[in-house]
Structures are given as structure tokens and as C-alpha cells.
């Protein structure tokens, strides 16, 4: 039974989730200390593992080091700090004084104050219903009247792993068009920091980690994981000592950025959620997916529509006639959402001008957008539009009118990337302009969907004249969130896709106010197998936008069969991004067939449980499987990347099925025993040659 219990005799709290337990306590000097995280324990059982403060071995070694619930800087604490502050008189050391706690259902708030200075600290915990995820955050409040408090570092939580003989970390790395490449490697001794200093989540890392003892597999083993719900600059630091202790601390911010709390101010950090499972990496991923579907996404029960996007067909050369032709063709294929990309506004004939001037270009659309929107709706599709509201071109009416609205420092060059600058959304006037512009755009034109892009990171992140310029690093992201939230409240039918030059803004924070994310600008099907594999470690297929585009690929120039491209994209939210007006008839016929197939399996893909059967590699076979929530249907995707040294096909063992049930192949009619599919497997029947693929549909009989 899920519950939160306080034991006054030991001054400890026990948080019981659906299948796990977590515990903390107060030390003799009131500091919060970690006790336990792992398989479920009752309060009586927890008494056996309650640790007491041990005496120091000598002046250099502390047996309690690394057990802080939120590692704070001060005194003789030398562990990686999660909380560092500097008071008005220059004092930095924090001393805890416990004030009390509140338990409200599955939420816990533990309150502290510094013993002398006017800083209140609240540690927050919440367990969403039906999950083993523990959401954690920190609140800092200046409750005095004198001088600001500098916040050098304010992480959301410190997660303490149990001592194991060895540790391995899983995370993703990459770059533009090469996001989410999964790495599993030993945890180094000392401090290792993952993060982004770019003002966005970034293509180069993603704010989650998984830890195991080096023995976990897809199906077996203990896995401890944590994911940060934040879309700006962030850092996650692992610290491993020679004594065997391992912690993970994470939150927003970066070195050198030091916002200040003025009297009366409160700073609340984003959620840094943690999850334990004993079912291996697969169980960890399925638990994160279920949590995201049930407690993060705004409309999790919806089926995301099949999308068409005009970018690769037209680039900036957008005209009403050209968009109408694409829309007519898209509707004939079975597309449900038509999205017009860049080039429809201002003086936008390339990436050099027009950003910030979100008025319809009347040379391209003499009657405005209304005729095109009406036609798209008449064809039975919803209408979407690409926007990049956080950006401005120097060659724009907006910049000429408000050059002070961008991030900048006095006497420093305003660096341009993609010929654009970043608007300072932390400024209330800029934020209000952005909301008003988007609100009018959506409301006046009947826009159903926005592709919200951001094609460059921060630079010269200054705010001349602001009382505390460093707050912009946090407030810009919070402003983006607030604008999205206001737009959704004002237009309940509006749906949003998050994009940042591809997968540069994917995290639990942005997923809480968007419906899907653009996974990568790289739509090459072979590369996408790797990108989607890394993405799916934490995030669900229900939010993973995946396109079928032209051949050869726009980014890699690699050629792959249309069937292969469709099957890879059908493992997420299917989209089409090619110049379909120029597709030969045989490709259009195949596309209609594959879109119809996707609509049949879409409920399983978008709302089912993912089982990674064989991970992608540079050659050989890879496979994944989705099982419907009720277990009644399953779909298996099988891919052969390349065929080296011809070998006989081997059986593919499935997962997540009922061993006592029987399953019918919906295409061949063959009936299988669930037990044999789990123990022995089936032969996928892939066609010969490189880039072969198959989709196998199974129904419980």
C-alpha cells in the first residue's frame, strides 16, 4: 500500500510507493539524511536498516560522507554540494534547523531554516498515483529584511545509491542530427558532470541517468534512475568515493550563474524524479513511459494524428498554390494533420530575415492564411503552423524597433547563429508580446497545431539594466512554459510540438505542456533506429515524432527503401515530410497502405508497453515490440540494417505476452502459443537484402 509515514521516535520518514520504499531521517543536528531506497520495506523492517551517525575515523575521513538528503555546502561537509548559498555578510556555510513537516496523501514537505540567517528550505516529495516514481524538488525562501542571498547552486535533489561492488551509468550523448545515442559505461571515481550550458536541454546530452551494478540487462537486474523536468541549462553530477558511496545530484543552472533571493523572494527548483526497479532496463523504461503518459503529458489519452510537414518539399519557397497541392496529396494518403513549416511570414525568403515579424506574407498568401486553412479543414485534416517565437533576425521590423529585447551584454558583439538572435523571454514586455502574437495567430486563423521551434542556443546572455541579470537563465524557460500554458488554456483544442533544431528540447518539463517532440532533424531511417532507441529509454513513443522523407535522405544522403523508412517511423508518431507531389504512383500506393497499417497499430504503439527485443547496431538485426495495455494485441517491428556473411534466419524471442494464451498472426493467420513465442520465438520472414523490415501483428485468441 502506498503511504508516507513519520516515526517520531527515530525522526524518520518512510515513503512507500506501489512496489518500492524510500526513507530519510534527521541527524542529531537536524540535517536531513538519506536512509534507504529500493525494494519495498515496512516500517518495522526499515528499523533494521536505520543508520545512525557514526564517529569520524580521523580528521580526513567521514563515514557519513555522501548520505546527505540534499548535500549542502558548509562545516566539514566536502561532498559534491547540491545547495550552496552566500548570505549578505559573505557567510556561506549552511546549518540546518528542523521546523516541521506536512504530509498530504502521497506528498511530503519537510521544512527547515538556517540556524541564524533568514533562509527557509523546504524539501518536497510526491508520489503520483500508481507509480514508483518519486518526484523531488527544493524551495528556498528569503524570510528576512536585509540584503539578498546569492544562490550559487540549488539542485532539486540528491539521490543516494546503495553501496554495490561496482557501478555502471547509462545516459545519452550526441549532437545536432545525432541525438540520443545511448552509452553504458563504468561510473568514474570522483565527480562527473553531465549538462547543458546552452539555455536549452541540448542535442548533446539529456537530463536523465540510470545506474546499475554492471550486471543489469534489458529484462533483469536492479536499476536506479533519475530524470530532471527542465528545458533550460542543467547539470547532473555523479560522485563516487573510494569508500563505495555513489550519489547523483541534479537541477537547473550552471557554473558562474548566481541569481539572488531578495527579501520575500522564493525560488522553487524543477522536479528531479527518481525511480527504482528490479526488472532491468526494460522495466525502468516502461515505468517512465507509464508515468509520462499518466502524469506528465497534457492529453495522454489521445491518439496523435498522422502528420504531414511541408519543410523538405518547399523549404522557404512557400506559396498558397504549392501548399494546397501538398495538402490535397496528403489528404489522399490518409494524413490527418497538415503542417506548413517556415517561410509563410514577414520577409521570409531565407534564414536571413523575417523572424519576429509574425504577420502573413501577402505576396505569398494574398488572402491571408484563411483560404488555405479552410481548404485543409475541408479536406478533413487539421491545420498546423511552424513558429520560432523566441528568435529574431537582425533584419526584421521587430529588431529594428526593439534591439534591446535580445540577450546581450554592453560593449560585446551580438553573436549570430543561423543569422538570428535570442529574445529575452525573461522580460515581461517580451513575454507579453510573444503571448499576444501567438494568441492572435492561433485565434484569428483557426490554428490547430503549433510546431514551436528554437534553432540556436543562448549567447551573450545578459540583461542590461536588470536588478539581477542572472535570473534570465531560469526565467526565460519559465516564461516559455507560461506562454505555452496560457495558449493551451485560451485555446483548448490547440496542440503543440516542441522542437529545437531537432531534439534540442526534449525533457519532462517541456513534455508537461506539449503533445509531442521533434526527435531529430535527421530522418535517415538507419540513424533513427539509434536515435529512437536512446530516446525511448525514458520517453514514450506517444510523444516521439518520426517522419518518412525523400530518398536519398536530406541530411545523410543515404538511400533506403520506402518500406524500411515507413516501418522505422511507425514505431513512433508517424509523419510524412517528403515532396509527395513528386512521388511516383507506386510510392503513393505504398504510402497509403502503410498509413492505413499504422492507423490500425497506432493504439498499441502510442499507448502500449515497449519491449526492446534486439538493440540496433551498425549492422545485423534489431527488433522491438509493443504490447497493448490490456494484453490483447502486440506488434513487432523487425529491421535488418545490413546483411553481412549470409546466415540462416534465427528465431526472434518475444516478450510481454501471456504464456498461457495463444496469438494469431493477423496477416498469415498462423496461431502461436504464447509460451513458445516467449521461449523459442518466431521467424520474422524478412525479405532478402539490406534494409529489410517487417511488421508483425499478433492478436490474443
By CB atoms closer than 10 A (0-12, 13-18, 19+), residue 108 is: buried
393 is in an annotated binding site: no
CB atoms near residue 439 (< 10 Å): 15
Residue 257 makes CB contacts below 8 A (sequence gap 6+) with: 233, 470, 473
Which residue matches cell numbers 493504439?
603
> Between 428-445 and 472-490, two packed helices, what is the crossing angle to 10 degrees?
20
Rounded-to-integer distance, Cα 144 and Cα 149, Å: 10
544 is in an annotated binding site: no
Q: Is 489 helix (H, G, I), strand (E, B) or coil?
A: helix
The DSSP secondary-structure symbol of 187 reads P
CA-nearest of 125, 152, 120, 128 to 137 is: 125
Rounded-to-integer distance, Cα 655 and Cα 625, Å: 8
Query: Active site residue: 357, 453, 550, 655, which one?
Result: 453
Q: Is 37 within 8 Å of 159 (Cβ atoms)?
A: yes
106 is in an annotated binding site: no
Rounded-to-integer distance, Cα 701 and Cα 689, Å: 34
418 is in an annotated binding site: yes
> Where are any strands of DSSP class E within 298-351?
307-309, 337-340
Looking at the DSSP bridge assignments, the partners of residue 32 are: 26
Q: Is 106 within 8 Å of 2 (Cβ atoms)?
A: yes
Rounded-to-integer distance, Cα 611 and Cα 404, Å: 51
Residue 688 makes CB contacts below 8 A (sequence gap 6+) with: 643
> Where are any strands of DSSP class E within 50-130?
83-86, 96-104, 107-114, 119-126
524 is in an annotated binding site: no
Rounded-to-integer distance, Cα 273 and Cα 255, Å: 22
240 is in an annotated binding site: no
The strand pair at 107-114 and 449-452 is best described as unpaired
CB crowding 19-55: b at 16 or more within 10 Å, else e = ebbbbbbbbeeebbbbbbbbeebebeebeeeeeeeee
> Is 507 annotated in the active site?
no
582 is in an annotated binding site: no
Query: Active site residue: 507, 521, 524, 550, which one?
Result: 521
Rounded-to-integer distance, Cα 547 and Cα 570, Å: 9
455 is in an annotated binding site: yes
CB crowding 316-348: b at 16 or more within 10 Å, else e = eebebebbeebbebbbebbbbbbbbbbbbbbbb
563 is in an annotated binding site: no
CA-CA-CA-CA torsion for 237, 241, 247, 252, nearest 10 degrees?
-20
Q: Which strand (E) or helix (H) includes residue 594? A: helix 585-607
DSSP secondary structure of 625-655 = EEE-TTSSEEEEEEEEEE--S------B---
Q: Is 550 helix (H, G, I), strand (E, B) or coil?
A: coil
Which residue matches cell numbers 536541454?
201
Residue 224: φ, ψ to 5°: -110, 130
> Is 351 annotated in the active site?
no
**Which residues are the active-site residues?**
453, 521
Which amino acids are annotated as binding site, given as ranges? 176, 341-342, 418, 451-455, 499, 521
Which amino acids are annotated as binding site for substrate, given as ranges? 176, 341-342, 418, 451-455, 499, 521
Amino acid at each position: 500500500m502506498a503511504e508516507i509515514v513519520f516515526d517520531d521516535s527515530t525522526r524518520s520518514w518512510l515513503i512507500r510507493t506501489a512496489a518500492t520504499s524510500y526513507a530519510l531521517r534527521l541527524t542529531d543536528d537536524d540535517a536531513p539524511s538519506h536512509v534507504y531506497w529500493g525494494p519495498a520495506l515496512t516500517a518495522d523492517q526499515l528499523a533494521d536498516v536505520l543508520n545512525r551517525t557514526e564517529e569520524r575515523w580521523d580528521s580526513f575521513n567521514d563515514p557519513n560522507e555522501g548520505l546527505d538528503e540534499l548535500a549542502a555546502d558548509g562545516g566539514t561537509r566536502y561532498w559534491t554540494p547540491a545547495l550552496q548559498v552566500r548570505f549578505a555578510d559573505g557567510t556561506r556555510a549552511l546549518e540546518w534547523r528542523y521546523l516541521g513537516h506536512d504530509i498530504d496523501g502521497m506528498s511530503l514537505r519537510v521544512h527547515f531554516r538556517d540556524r541564524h540567517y533568514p533562509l527557509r528550505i523546504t524539501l518536497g516529495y510526491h508520489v503520483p498515483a500508481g507509480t514508483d516514481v518519486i518526484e523531488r524538488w527544493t524551495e528556498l525562501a528569503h524570510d528576512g529584511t536585509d540584503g539578498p542571498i546569492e544562490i550559487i547552486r540549488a539542485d532539486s535533489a540528491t539521490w543516494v545509491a546503495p553501496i554495490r561492488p561496482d557501478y555502471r551509468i547509462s545516459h545519452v550523448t550526441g549532437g545536432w542530427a545525432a541525438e540520443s545515442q545511448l552509452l553504458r559505461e563504468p561510473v568514474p571515481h570522483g565527480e562527473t558532470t553531465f549538462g547543458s550550458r546552452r539555455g536549452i536541454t541540448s542535442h548533446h546530452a539529456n537530463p536523465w541517468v540510470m545506474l546499475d551494478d554492471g550486471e543489469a540487462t534489458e529484462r533483469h537486474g536492479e536499476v536506479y534512475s533519475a530524470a530532471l523536468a527542465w528545458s533550460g541549462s542543467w547539470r547532473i553530477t555523479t560522485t563516487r568515493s573510494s569508500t563505495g558511496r555513489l550519489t547523483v545530484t541534479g537541477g537547473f543552472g550552471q557554473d558562474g550563474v548566481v541569481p539572488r533571493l531578495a527579501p520575500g523572494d522564493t525560488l522553487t527548483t524543477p522536479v528531479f524524479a527518481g525511480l527504482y526497479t528490479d526488472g532491468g532496463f526494460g522495466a525502468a523504461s516502461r515505468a517512465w513511459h507509464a508515468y509520462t503518459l499518466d502524469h506528465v503529458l497534457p492529453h495522454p489519452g489521445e491518439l496523435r494524428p498522422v502528420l504531414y510537414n511541408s519543410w523538405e518539399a518547399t523549404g522557404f519557397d512557400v506559396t498558397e498554390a504549392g501548399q494546397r497541392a501538398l495538402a490535397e496529396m496528403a489528404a489522399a494518403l490518409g494524413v490527418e494533420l497538415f503542417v506548413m513549416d517556415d517561410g509563410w511570414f514577414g520577409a521570409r525568403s531565407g534564414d536571413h530575415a523575417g523572424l519576429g515579424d509574425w504577420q502573413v506574407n501577402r505576396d505569398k498568401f494574398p488572402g491571408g492564411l484563411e483560404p488555405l486553412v479552410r481548404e485543409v479543414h475541408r479536406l478533413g485534416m487539421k491545420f498546423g503552423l511552424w513558429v520560432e517565437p523566441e528568435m529574431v533576425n537582425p533584419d526584421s521590423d521587430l529588431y529594428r524597433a526593439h534591439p534591446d529585447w535580445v540577450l546581450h551584454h554592453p560593449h560585446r558583439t551580438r553573436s549570430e547563429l543561423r543569422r538570428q538572435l535570442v529574445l529575452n523571454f525573461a522580460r515581461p514586455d517580451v513575454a507579453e508580446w510573444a503571448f499576444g502574437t501567438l494568441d492572435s495567430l492561433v485565434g484569428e486563423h483557426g490554428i490547430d497545431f503549433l510546431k514551436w521551434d528554437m534553432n540556436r542556443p543562448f549567447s551573450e546572455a545578459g540583461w542590461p539594466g536588470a536588478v539581477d541579470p542572472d535570473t534570465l537563465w531560469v526565467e526565460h524557460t519559465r516564461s516559455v512554459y507560461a506562454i505555452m500554458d496560457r495558449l493551451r488554456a485560451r485555446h483548448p483544442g490547440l496542440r503543440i510540438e516542441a522542437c529545437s533544431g531537432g531534439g534540442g528540447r526534449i525533457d519532462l518539463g517541456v513534455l508537461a505542456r506539449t503533445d509531442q517532440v521533434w526527435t531529430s532533424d535527421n530522418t535517415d531511417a538507419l540513424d533513427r533506429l539509434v536515435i529512437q532507441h536512446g530516446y525511448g529509454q525514458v520517453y514514450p513513443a506517444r510523444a516521439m515524432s518520426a517522419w518518412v522523407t525523400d530518398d536519398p535522405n536530406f541530411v545523410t544522403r543515404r538511400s533506403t527503401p520506402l518500406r524500411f523508412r515507413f516501418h522505422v517511423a511507425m514505431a513512433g508518431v508517424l509523419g510524412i515530410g517528403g515532396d509527395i507531389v513528386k512521388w511516383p504512383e507506386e510510392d503513393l500506393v505504398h504510402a497509403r497502405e502503410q498509413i492505413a497499417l499504422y492507423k490500425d497499430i497506432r493504439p498499441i504503439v502510442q499507448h502500449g508497453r515497449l519491449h526492446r527485443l534486439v538493440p540496433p547496431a551498425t549492422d545485423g538485426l534489431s527488433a522491438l515490440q509493443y504490447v497493448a495495455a490490456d494484453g490483447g494485441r502486440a506488434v513487432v517491428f523487425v529491421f535488418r540494417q545490413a546483411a553481412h556473411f549470409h546466415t540462416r534466419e534465427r528465431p526472434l524471442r518475444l516478450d510481454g505476452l501471456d504464456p498461457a494464451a495463444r496469438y494469431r498472426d493477423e496477416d498469415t493467420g498462423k496461431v502461436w502459443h504464447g509460451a513458445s513465442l516467449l521461449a523459442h520465438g518466431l521467424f520474422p520472414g524478412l525479405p532478402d537484402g539490406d534494409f529489410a523490415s517487417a511488421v508483425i501483428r499478433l492478436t490474443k485468441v
